[in-house]
Structure formats: C-alpha cells, structure tokens
Amino acid sequence: MAPFIEGLQAVTVHVTDLEKARAFYSKILLLEEERPVPNIPRIIYKLHGTTTRLLMHVQDSTEGGREPGTVSGITFYCPDPVAACAIIQKKGGKIVDEPWTMQRGHSTVVRAVIADPDGNEFLLSSGM
C-alpha cells in the first residue's frame, strides 16, 4: 500500500487575539503574512523555504482542536537559535527555555523554546 500522507500542508494555532498574534508572528518572528482572506478572521503565514503554512485564528466554540496556549511540539528550523532568541527577547517575545546545546550523533544541535502571547510553545532547532 502506498503512503497516503504526502506532506505537511498547514499547522493551525488557536489564539485569543488576532492582533496580538499578528504582532508576535510578523514583528517578532518576522514571518511573512499571506494576503488576508476577506470576511474570514484568520492570519496565514508562509514558512520560508517550504510549502507549509501556519494558520492563526480564534477558536470557535463548535470547533475541535487544542485550546489557545496549549500548542507544543512544533519545531521550527533555525540555523542560529541563540541569535534568534536574542532578537525575540529584544522585541518583547518570551523565551521559555534558553538555548541549550546537545549532541545528536556526530552533530551538535542548538535548541530553545519560545512562546507566543497565548503561551503556545515552539521549539527552535538548528538541526534534527
């Protein structure tokens, strides 16, 4: 049987305030926002170098999924998490776990954990 998963299309993150989310993801993480969709209250970000999108919207009471502030386990590739954390902190972003170094086989990987205004956490990693 052939694999039926062909890629990662999007990651949805529920937020409580779209404008606070926009300030964090656009101005602190410097992600590029796609053009808004009229009459749909959501923000879509391009993840540089991929076809994957990061979607933000306020969760509807009839919608399933994780509540705002409960996302974790999503890893962003970042060649220099130390420099990224310095920029994020300078711009008012939250660093949950300061950068640390670990050995992965023959490679040295630097990682850090950041959080958006709702407390959704993301791992920054220089490698696998």
State pLDDT tens for residues 1-20: 777 777 778 899 999 999 99
For residue 110, the model assigns a pLDDT of: 94
Q: Does 40 fall in a domain? A: yes
At residue 122 the predicted structure's pLDDT band, cuts being 50, 70 and 90, is very high
What is the full DSSP assignment across 92-108?
TPEEEEEEEEEEETTEE
Domain assignment of residue 25, given as a range = 10-61+68-125
Using the CB atoms, write b or e for 34-56: b if 16+ within 10 Å: eeeeeeeeebbbebeeeeeebeb
Query: Judging by DSSP bridges, how do beta strands 10-15 and 53-58 pair with one another?
Result: parallel
Return the minimum-mean-pLDDT range out of 13-17, 71-75, 79-83, 89-93. Answer: 71-75
Kindly state whether residue 4 falls inside one of the protein's structural domains. no
Rounded distance between C-alpha atoms, residue 126 and residue 36, angstroms: 31
| Count of domains for the chain | 1
Whether 46 maps to a domain, the answer reads: yes
In 1-128, DSSP assigns E strands to: 10-15, 32-33, 42-46, 53-58, 74-77, 94-104, 107-115, 121-125
Average pLDDT, the chain: 89
How far apart are the two ends of the chain, measured CA to CA in Å?
Answer: 28
pLDDT at 9: 82
Say which CATH number the domain at 98 has. Answer: 3.10.180.10
Rounded distance, CA 101 to CA 117, Å? 26
